[in-house]
A and B are shown apart, each in its own frame.
Chain A
Amino acid sequence: MSRMNSNTKVKVSMNRIKRNMRSCIFVLLSLYLVLLVYFAYTLFMYSDRWFADPGNTRVKVDMSNPRIIPGRIYDRNMLTLVETGTKTEDNGQVVFYRKYHELSRCAAHVIGNRQLGIGAETRFIKYLLGYDNNLIERVYQKAFLNREQGNNIILTIDIELQRYADEALGDRSGSIVLINPKNGEILAMVSHPDFDPSDPGKDMKNESLVNKAIYGKYPPGSIMKLITAAAAISHLEGAEEFTLECKGRTDIDGISVSCYSERAHGLVDMNRALEVSCNAYFAKLAVDLGWKNLRSTAERFGFNRDFIFEEVITTKSVFPTSGTKSTEELAWAGVGQDEVLVSPLHMALIASSIANDGKMPEPKLIHGIQRRNGSIVYKSGTKTALNTVPTEIAQALKGMMINAVEEGTGKKAYKQGIEIAGKTGTAEVGNGSLPHAWFIGFAPAEDPSIAIAVIIERAGSGGSEAAPVAGDLISRAIRLGY
């Protein structure tokens, strides 16, 4: 009690100090909490990528005298694409080197090369060097093996299909992605121009090292109409019955929109418009939808999203976000021009999501890991990357895509006996050069087992250039049993 009386004056300010202190503890503790949460989050999301970074000297392998022998890379049918071989040099010294199978050339970007810092050789170095082994295995290897042994990777790639795709593209620039829409396994992924992974110096061209399937950014052209259609069905009432008179060069709310080679499509409804790929119709839908609705649907399909997949790194697809865009730009964005940019893998994923009733699977490249003793651990389990649109909308889009192949622009993709759903795209690039030819689709439409995205740069219209390639590859894939 005595202390209370004598110290009353001080106590008042003391109480205030202590009250402030408590709030200060709160603020500072939350700082630490932010630190801890960010630390956990960022490591969970990115640590694998950082580990596999080409700048990581910890996983550099000295091939003349390796401490760990890197494992093999197989395709899904256990064909050895890359292995570590030994050769004896003239002076009798044994040297290790990465031995590439001759077919590895057609999967150059997928397999990659450690020196160049690309492909599975870089990305999956954790497995190849056996850093994913458990303690017992690692201790055993250190204790009893002369050199440690990395694990073997089984890729989801089917080298047979990959070779067809590679040949289909020929010496044209572009990219092809074949993917299983159910579980996201990438069956083939081609990017041209390519390089020789066993000898990267040989016939290297300007863009050779870029895997365009994942890093390419192209205007999607008419493929965007699928997204515009999905947006219209979910946001505009009676959109599927809406009709428009296409005159080849049609006036949409004061904006003149021309169709490909100014062909007049006549009176079209949504089904017919997608079939013939009518610009005017979808420009009108885009204008009616407005930026907000169109963007929100595009974002549901994964535009403007940092895809952080476990096994595949891909670039971000862009849908314009700035608020100060004109209606004319909106009309063109609705048919995939303006500033819309996509990667071929993303397009294949969009096709997969339509095939899969709206569920976009997470793309996968690793089929399984083979341990030192030969046992294989398969990486099963499908992850859904995104839930894009409800099942009804996916079904509606699928129906229109089937028509587009049977009667519309995608006719050249048609194959007897296989029901293919698809959409062509012809993306103007300006500078007077030919447009990029696009095709995305999936088959069999009933129960899709394969989805595809084809882009051929500066080749012409999607219907005449990309569609036949896609139809061919799909029929071959189905013949291979997918």
Chain B
Amino acid sequence: MDKKQYEILALMLRYWFVLLLICILYILLKKVIIYKQGGTVKRTTGNIPFILVLYTLSAFGLLAGREPGGYDLDVLLLGAIISVVVLFQFYFLFYFFKGIDEVLLSIVDTLAVLGLVMLQRLSPELAMNQVEWFIYGNVGMFIFIMIFSRNIDLGRLTYPLMISGIAVLVVVLLFGKESGGAKRYVVLGPFSVQPSEFVKLIFIFVLAYYLKIKRTFFQNLPLYIFAALSVILVVLHKDLGSALQYFLLFISIYYIATSDWLLTGAAVATGIVGAAISYKLFSHVRVRVQAWKNPWADIGGGGYQVAQSLIAIGSGGLIGFGLGLGEPNVIPASRTDFIFAAICEEFGILTGAAVIILFGLLLVRGMQKGLESDKETDTLLVCGCVISLTIQAFIIIGGVIKLIPLTGITLPFVSYGGSSMFVSMCIAGMMQGISIKNYRLAKAFEALDEPDELEYEGEGFNEQD
């Protein structure tokens, strides 16, 4: 395409993208609000997969014409692959596992599609990798659905997982690779893996399986040690975002499971003291806090990231510059931590708000699934999944828009990063597995209740009780 043709097309398609996203939001919002708990309401995917495919194809179709002269079919092909994956999820998985939650799946896919489109625009090579990881993530989701939709007791795995989690974090501390001031990555052959993401899965699992049984303080001691050690180790990696996430995850799940105000309060107090100590101890923490207070004061130094992010967000306006017309590459870490700013710049504030609302819907829907479940582990697992994603999204979006000090962490499903994408998909799989379990349970009760409707058999059924 000619450069001017591309610009005109991108300018006009801004409205189209916002419209599609609003359609998705509307359908999801309706489904979340009229959701009947425990019921097996007719579950349909509605038009969401169709809209998503439309979104993907039009975005990738536009980006294919970005380079002047010619039409890059590889880009279109990538869009088609993503569409196939989305359709596969919606039709194949739905056929295979009855009871998959269409809202959760739609939210995850919408976020992933947004992220992939943005990555394709920011850096085509990375988008290719990320699509690969999106597919692996789907495999991971599939495996987690298989595991968690069955009634098998995984309690035996608690202690081995605790030990391996700590071991992995120690390995990172010893052999980790530094990037962006934090020691996050371990190089495994061709891959560079971020173990703290995988330990998050262990963390959610261990918390749920450990806290399902009421124990005394001393019986709980191994859990406390595990939680404290992992938080401290992650702080030593200088990965403050993850540390904050682990910490908040622990106190919220702990409180939900035990209603123990005393220890929760003590943990919060410890956390605050720890934050104060790290503020005094680490200069990079102080820089972050300064940049949060006033990023413009030191725009060439510590405040650069946040200031550039704010400039990008402010430049986009309501519906953005148009895909490919802004300069999101100026924002530091625009592919990972600051992808929200890049999305706001090119797709506009409305899309940014839609991302926040999507995460909000994910929270509500996840909790609905948790409330539906009748097993403590399942409820706690869902809580862990939802809270982990919520905290992660809040920390990074809040940091990017200067609501809270910035701590580097990925935006789940959206940011570039194989580990992040894979683990987020696994978490989604965990939630889906439990949703399926709930569905089977409800189906079973429905089958039991059926005689009730027929009067002559109803009597007999009650006597059997």
CB under 8 Å from chain A, chain B span 256-302: 256-257, 259, 296, 299
Which residues from chain B sit less than 8 Å from chain A, CB to CB? 4, 7-8, 11-12, 15, 214, 252, 255-257, 259, 296, 299, 307-308, 310-311, 313-315, 317, 321, 326-327, 330, 349, 352-353, 356-357, 359-360, 363-364, 367, 370-371, 374, 376, 379-380, 383, 386-387, 390, 394, 397-398, 401-403, 445, 462, 465
B214 in contact with A51 (CB, 8 Å):
no
A-B contact pairs, 29 of them (CB 8 A): A1-B462, A2-B465, A3-B374, A13-B376, A22-B367, A24-B256, A25-B364, A28-B386, A28-B390, A29-B363, A32-B360, A32-B363, A34-B403, A35-B398, A39-B353, A39-B401, A40-B353, A42-B401, A46-B314, A47-B317, A50-B314, A53-B311, A55-B308, A59-B315, A135-B12, A135-B15, A138-B11, A142-B4, A142-B7
Q: Give the CA-CA distance A59 to B312 in the complex, in Å.
A: 11
CB distance from A194 to the nearest CB of B (A): 24
A58 in contact with B327 (CB, 8 Å):
yes
In the complex, whether A18 has a CB less than 8 A from a CB of chain B is yes
A35 in contact with B387 (CB, 8 Å):
no
B349 in contact with A42 (CB, 8 Å):
no
In the complex, whether A57 has a CB less than 8 A from a CB of chain B is yes
A24 in contact with B379 (CB, 8 Å):
no
Q: Give the CA-CA distance A353 to B299 in the complex, in Å.
A: 36
CB distance from B441 to the nearest CB of A (A): 10
B465 in contact with A57 (CB, 8 Å):
no
Nearest CB in chain A to that of B299: its residue: A55
B370 in contact with A39 (CB, 8 Å):
no
Residues on B with C-beta less than 8 A from A42 are 401-402
A25 in contact with B363 (CB, 8 Å):
yes
User: Could you say which of A2, A14, A47, A55 contacts B379, with CB atoms under 8 Å apart?
Assistant: A14
CB under 8 Å from chain B, chain A span 122-152: 135, 138-139, 142-143
Nearest CB in chain B to that of A132: its residue: B317
User: Could you say which of B15, B315, B370, B379 contacts A50, with CB atoms under 8 Å apart?
Assistant: B315
In the complex, whether A56 has a CB less than 8 A from a CB of chain B is yes
B327 in contact with A17 (CB, 8 Å):
no
A28 in contact with B363 (CB, 8 Å):
yes
CB distance from A50 to the nearest CB of B (A): 3
Q: Known: A2-B465, A40-B353, A50-B313. Is A20-B256 also a contact (CB below 8 A)?
A: yes
Q: Which of A14, A40, A50 has the most CB of B within 10 A?
A: A50
Residues on B with C-beta less than 8 A from A1 are 462, 465
B353 in contact with A51 (CB, 8 Å):
no
CB under 8 Å from chain B, chain A span 21-64: 21-22, 24-25, 28-29, 31-32, 34-36, 38-40, 42-43, 46-51, 53, 55-59
CB distance from B459 to the nearest CB of A (A): 14
In the complex, whether A10 has a CB less than 8 A from a CB of chain B is yes
A135 in contact with B402 (CB, 8 Å):
no
B8 in contact with A139 (CB, 8 Å):
yes
Q: Known: A7-B374, A42-B401, A53-B307. Is A47-B353 also a contact (CB below 8 A)?
A: no
In the complex, whether A87 has a CB less than 8 A from a CB of chain B is no
Counting chain A residues whose Cβ lies within 8 A of the other chain, the interface size class is 35 or more
Residues on B with C-beta less than 8 A from A10 are 376
Nearest CB in chain A to that of B304: its residue: A55
Per DSSP, are chain A's interface residues mostly helix, strand or loop, or mixed?
helix
Q: Give the CA-CA distance A178 to B403 in the complex, in Å.
A: 38
Which residues from chain A sit less than 8 Å from chain B, CB to CB? 1-3, 7, 10, 13-14, 16-18, 20-22, 24-25, 28-29, 31-32, 34-36, 38-40, 42-43, 46-51, 53, 55-59, 135, 138-139, 142-143
CB distance from A49 to the nearest CB of B (A): 7
Q: Give the CA-CA distance A132 to B309 in the complex, in Å.
A: 21
Nearest CB in chain A to that of B315: its residue: A51
Q: Give the CA-CA distance A248 to B12 in the complex, in Å.
A: 74
B367 in contact with A21 (CB, 8 Å):
yes
B383 in contact with A21 (CB, 8 Å):
yes
CB distance from B352 to the nearest CB of A (A): 7
CB distance from B193 to the nearest CB of A (A): 29
Q: Give the CA-CA distance A58 to B321 in the complex, in Å.
A: 10
Residues on B with C-beta less than 8 A from A7 are 374
Q: Give the CA-CA distance A119 to B61 in the complex, in Å.
A: 42
CB distance from A357 to the nearest CB of B (A): 36
Q: Known: A17-B257, A36-B353. Is A55-B307 also a contact (CB below 8 A)?
A: yes
CB distance from B16 to the nearest CB of A (A): 12
Residues on A with C-beta less than 8 A from B327 are 57-58
CB distance from B263 to the nearest CB of A (A): 14
Residues on A with C-beta less than 8 A from B352 are 39
Residues on B with C-beta less than 8 A from A46 are 310, 314
Nearest CB in chain B to that of A1: its residue: B465
Residues on B with C-beta less than 8 A from A55 are 299, 307-308, 311
B356 in contact with A39 (CB, 8 Å):
yes
Q: Known: A29-B364, A35-B398. Is A14-B376 also a contact (CB below 8 A)?
A: yes
Residues on B with C-beta less than 8 A from A40 are 349, 353
Q: Known: A16-B259, A21-B383, A28-B390. Is A51-B4 also a contact (CB below 8 A)?
A: no
Q: Give the CA-CA distance A292 to B208 in the complex, in Å.
A: 55
CB distance from A164 to the nearest CB of B (A): 35
A38 in contact with B401 (CB, 8 Å):
yes
User: Could you say which of B12, B371, B374 contacts A139, with CB atoms under 8 Å apart?
Assistant: B12
Q: Give the CA-CA distance A25 to B15 in the complex, in Å.
A: 33
Q: Give the CA-CA distance A36 to B402 in the complex, in Å.
A: 12
Nearest CB in chain B to that of A5: its residue: B465
